[in-house]
Structure 1
Amino acid sequence: MEAAVNKIGAVLLGPPFLILLVGTGIYLTFRLGFIQVFRMPLALKYIFEKEEKESGELVGDVSSFGALCTALSATVGTGNIVGVAAAIKTGGPGALFWMLVAAFFGMATKYAEGLLAIKYREKDENGEMSGGPMYYIEKGLGLRWLAKIFAIFGVGVALLGIGTFGQVKSISEAVKLTFNIPLVVTAAIITIIVALVTLGGIKRIASVSEKIVPFMAILYGIGAIIVLVLNLEKIPEAIKLILLGAFKPKAVLGGSIGITILTAMRSGVSRGLFSNESGLGSAPIAAAAAKTKSPARQGLVSMTGTFIDTMVVCTMTGIVIILTGMYEGNLEGTALTTAAFKAGIPLGNLGVYIVNLGLIFFAFTTIIGWNYYGERCIEYLAGVKAIKPYKIIFIVLVAIGSFLPLGLILGIADIVNGLMAIPNLIGLIGLREVIVSETNIYLEKLKEKKEKTKISLDRYVKEVK
Structure 2
Amino acid sequence: MDWLNLLQEIDSWIWGPPLLMLLVGTGIYLTVRLKLLQIIRLPMALKLIFTAQNDGKGDVNSFAALCTALAATVGTGNIVGVATAIKAGGPGALFWMWLAAFFGMATKYSEALLAVKYRSVDANGQISGGPMYYIENGMGSKYRPLAVMFAVCGVLVAFFGIGTFPQVNAIVSTVELSLGVPVPVTAAVLTLLVALVTIGGLKRIAGVASKVVPFMALFYVLICLCTLIAYAEQVPQAVKLIIESAFSGTAAAGGFLGATVLMAIRNGVARGVFSNEAGLGSAPIAAAAAKTKWPAKQGLISMTGTFIDTIIVCTMTGLALVVTGAWSGKAAGAAMTQEAISAAFPAVGPYILTMGLVLFAFTTILGWNYYGERCCEYLFGTKSIKPYRGIFIGLVAAGAFLKLDVIWLIADIVNGMMAIPNLIALLALSGVVVMETNRYLQHLQRKETTGACGETYNKQLNN
> Secondary structure of the equivalent of 2:194?
helix
User: Which residue pairs with 2:453 in the alignment?
Assistant: 455
Q: Deviations over 1:423-442 (max 9, x none)?
A: 00000001010000000111
Contact preservation (8 Å) 1:223, 1:351: no
Hey, what's the Cα distance between the residues in 2 that align with 1:96 and 1:155?
A: 29
1:141-290 equivalence runs, <5 A = 141-142=139-140, 143-250=143-250, 257=257, 259-290=259-290
Q: Deviations over 1:379-433 (max 9, x none)?
A: 0000011111111111111001111111111111000000000000000001010
Hey, what's the Cα distance between the residues in 1 that align with 2:284 and 2:113?
A: 8
User: Which residue pairs with 1:110 in the alignment?
Assistant: 108
Hey, what's the Cα distance between the residues in 1 that align with 2:178 and 2:353?
A: 10
Contact preservation (8 Å) 1:25, 1:109: yes
Relative to the length of structure 1, the TM-score reads: 0.97
> Is 1:404 aligned to 2:402, yes or no?
yes
Contact preservation (8 Å) 1:274, 1:417: yes
1:29-428 equivalence runs, <5 A = 29-51=31-53, 53=55, 58-142=56-140, 143-250=143-250, 257=257, 259-343=259-343, 345=344, 347-428=345-426
Q: Deviations over 1:305-352 (max 9, x none)?
A: 000000000000000001111111111110000001111x1x433222
Q: Which amino acid aligns with 2:27?
A: G
> Secondary structure of the equivalent of 2:57?
coil
User: Which residue pairs with 2:19 in the alignment?
Assistant: 17
Q: Which amino acid aligns with 2:225?
A: I
Hey, what's the Cα distance between the residues in 2 that align with 1:257 and 1:338?
A: 21
Relative to the length of structure 2, the TM-score reads: 0.97
The runs of 5 or more residues in structure 2 that have no matched partner are none
> Secondary structure of the equivalent of 2:53?
coil
Hey, what's the Cα distance between the residues in 2 that align with 1:244 and 1:251?
A: 11
RMSD: 1.3
> Secondary structure of the equivalent of 1:214?
helix
Q: Provide the identity percentage.
A: 58
Deviation at 1:253, TM superposition (A): 5.8
Contact preservation (8 Å) 1:244, 1:251: no
Contact preservation (8 Å) 2:285, 2:371: yes
Deviation at 1:46, TM superposition (A): 0.9
Contact preservation (8 Å) 1:92, 1:253: no
Hey, what's the Cα distance between the residues in 1 that align with 2:8 and 2:129?
A: 32
The runs of 5 or more residues in structure 1 that have no matched partner are none
Deviation at 1:459, TM superposition (A): 2.4
Hey, what's the Cα distance between the residues in 2 that align with 1:276 and 1:304?
A: 10
Deviation at 1:251, TM superposition (A): 5.3
Hey, what's the Cα distance between the residues in 2 that align with 1:185 and 1:428?
A: 44
Q: Deviations over 1:86-115 (max 9, x none)?
A: 000000000000000000000000000010
> Is 1:436 aligned to 2:434, yes or no?
yes
The size of the alignment, in residue pairs, is 458
Hey, what's the Cα distance between the residues in 1 that align with 2:253 and 2:117?
A: 48
Hey, what's the Cα distance between the residues in 2 that align with 1:203 and 1:349?
A: 39
Contact preservation (8 Å) 2:54, 2:290: no
Contact preservation (8 Å) 2:252, 2:258: no
Deviation at 1:451, TM superposition (A): 1.2
Hey, what's the Cα distance between the residues in 2 that align with 1:4 and 1:323?
A: 36
Q: Which amino acid aligns with 1:321?
A: L
Q: Which amino acid aligns with 1:310?
A: T
Hey, what's the Cα distance between the residues in 2 that align with 1:130 and 1:392?
A: 20
Contact preservation (8 Å) 2:280, 2:418: yes
Hey, what's the Cα distance between the residues in 2 that align with 1:353 and 1:250?
A: 31
Hey, what's the Cα distance between the residues in 2 that align with 1:5 and 1:329?
A: 27
Q: Which amino acid aligns with 1:40?
A: L
> Secondary structure of the equivalent of 1:147?
helix
Hey, what's the Cα distance between the residues in 1 that align with 2:100 and 2:12?
A: 18
